[in-house]
Amino acid sequence: MLKKSLESFGRYCIFMWKCMSVPDKWREFFRRYVQELLRLGIDSIPLVLIVSVFIGAVCTIQMKLNITSPLLPKYAIGMTTREIILLEFSSSILCLILAGKVGSSIASEIGTMRVTEQIDALEIMGVNSANFLVFPKIAAFVSYIPVLVVFCMVTSLFGGYLICIVTGMVSVDVYIYGLQTMFTPWYVWYAIIKSLIFAFIISSVSSFFGYYVEGGALQVGTASTRAVVTSSILILLMDVVCTKVMLQ
Amino acid sequence: MIEVKNISKSFDGKTILHSVSAQFKDGLTNLIIGQSGSGKTVLMKSLVGLHTPDQGEILYDGRDLLKMNNSQKKELRKEIGMLFQGSALFDSETVLGNVMFPLKMFSDMSYEEQLERAHFCIKRVNLVGADDKYPSEISGGMQKRVAIARAIALNPKYLFCDEPNSGLDPKTSILIDELLVDITHEYGITTVINTHDMNSVLGIGENIVFLNKGHLAWTGNKDQVYDSDNETLNDFVFANDLFKKVKKYVNLTNDK
Ligand SMILES: Nc1ncnc2c1ncn2[C@@H]1O[C@H](COP(=O)(O)OP(=O)(O)O)[C@@H](O)[C@H]1O
Ligand SMILES: [Mg+2]
């Protein structure tokens, strides 16, 4: 088990080395970069929007229901909701969700290209296929993730705001006051930095699993599942490391 | 000319190619024939460098592929076109995009020149009016034509085709075969074709290499097939009744 993991890690490093070279044609790179930006980034916005609004709303309800001590001020609800969203939800949880969407799509796309010999066709022409296919994906997803994270923060807090208006369980003014109280800008940066690491994990690990598929459609499916599982585990691991390193 | 000397290749301890030697000649359609699983694809992928053989030499007009460094390989690859068994067209590109792809990546042509060259190649393979279609929208035979057009876009010196007529009806197969022969002769390309299709063997086999379970079993051309007394070859080529009768008939007329 350990030996196998180490072996995979070694192969992953070699793969990354192949990916991270200077593109043959910059024009082609930018064309693909823009395509990936649309497919991996902008297409994820609806999902992020739905998830964020609901989680933001649920968080606010939970805080209201669980903060019952009379010693705690009412604005603690908005404040704790904000901290949860900024510290964990907008980066770690969001990336776990995106690992499912983006990771599986990358792994199955590249895996299909492998089993239908499209990658061989690229290699035959003398194209560095790893660099050509994977580098634009990593670059696009990593560069777009901050947008998704910030978007997620805003919409989650907006979800909480909506629930205040709709149910009136917390007054809107108190909620907004809570959001502003003891705000630490560093937490936003912390979320963005973490998400950059997670985005790199998702895009590179999924590409890796797709790139080395052998067999047919069944194996592409397996690879895409493994890509999602592995990147999720790595995200959780890195989350622990980042929290320890950056918040202490 | 491509010369192969004593190529061996094994996967996970299982030997697939046993010291195969062969020559593939300029301006001819060179066939690698053999049953499914005999190692044709492995041999072809070794020839083009997608597999690295365990031992042996692969000489492209004297240049040993296995001793080349990366930049030399890259140069050589510009002289190689390849047609894959499943066509391997890029799903995300249109027909025109597929044919223009190698030109975009590897030529110094202006966009107009690229377009002109791509149209020329598409016309050469008798495919018109499909420029803006995606690979999933056209038939298997058309996909093969697009793949051929893409393979010849950069004017290759060597053309490799892995089972160019697998999955095609007999008539389309013959059209594709004829197209390959025409292109080979017209541009003096060294063409290597993998096939287990007897129509092709007897129709376009100008130089045939017969593989049996990874061993080189016979070489010759399509006329020599008829009077060969190599038993495995006869078993393979004249497996069905019709071909058995054809052989008998040809031999009778030859004797007279
Ligand atoms: N990448 C690979 N790994 C392991 N075994 C392989 C690989 N490619 C081919 N083989 C094996 O090599 C043998 C010959 O395959 P192939 O060359 O594809 O036959 P064909 O003559 O039908 O093209 C088969 O038994 C196949 O299982
Ligand atoms: Mg084959």
Q: What is the pLDDT of residues A136-161, one digit of tens each?
A: 999 999 999 999 999 999 999 999 99
pLDDT digit of tens for each residue in chain B (256 aa)?
999 999 999 999 999 999 999 999 999 999 999 999 999 999 999 999 999 999 999 999 989 999 999 889 888 998 999 999 988 999 999 999 999 999 998 888 999 999 999 999 999 888 888 899 999 999 988 999 999 999 999 999 999 999 998 888 888 889 899 999 999 999 999 999 999 888 888 889 899 999 999 999 999 988 888 888 888 888 888 877 777 787 788 778 877 6
Q: Are B159 and B152 within 8 A, CB to CB?
A: yes
Structure-token match 């053999």, residue found: B34
B136 in a structural domain: no
Q: Which residue of chain A comes nearest to B49, CA vs CA?
A: A124
What are the residue boundaries of the structural domains of chain A, listed by start?
26-247
Considering only CA atoms, which residue is closest to atom 27 of ligand 1? B37
Q: Are A187 and A202 within 8 A, CB to CB?
A: no
Q: How many C-alpha atoms does B249 have within 13 Å on its Cβ side?
A: 7
Complex ipTM: 0.88
**Pairwise CB contact (< 8 Å): A124 & B91:** no
Instruction: State residue A246's pLDDT score.
Output: 87
B88 in a structural domain: no
Instruction: Give the number of the ligand closest to the Cα of residue B36.
Output: 1
> How large a percentage of chain A has pLDDT more than 90?
79
Number of folded domains that form chain B: 1
The reply to whether A7 touches chain B by the CB within 8 Å rule is: no
Instruction: State residue B201's pLDDT score.
Output: 85
Q: How many C-alpha atoms does A239 have within 13 Å on its Cβ side?
A: 19
Instruction: State residue A61's pLDDT score.
Output: 92
**B73, B84, B106 ranked by CB distance to A120: nearest:** B84
Give the rounded distance of the alpha carbon of A92 from its chain centre.
Answer: 7
**Pairwise CB contact (< 8 Å): B105 & A28:** yes
The reply to whether A214 touches chain B by the CB within 8 Å rule is: no
- CATH number of the CATH domain containing B212: 3.40.50.300
Which H helix or E strand runs over B87? none
Range of the domain at B235: 2-79+156-255
B108 in a structural domain: no
C-alpha to C-alpha distance for B247 and B229, rounded to whole angstroms: 12
B84 in a structural domain: no
Q: Coil, strand or helix: which one is B71? A: helix
**Pairwise CB contact (< 8 Å): A28 & B104:** yes
Torsion of CA A18, A24, A30, A32, to 10 degrees: -60
Instruction: Give the number of the ligand closest to the Cα of residue A115.
Output: 1
Q: Do the bridges between strand B2-11 and strand B55-60 make them parallel or antiparallel, or are there none, so unpaired? A: antiparallel
Instruction: State residue B235's pLDDT score.
Output: 83
B208 in a structural domain: yes
How many whole angstroms from B42 Cα to the centroid of ligand 1? 6
Ligand 1 close to Cβ of residue B157 (< 6 A): no
First to last CA, chain A: 33
Task: For chain A, list residues with pLDDT below 50.
Answer: none
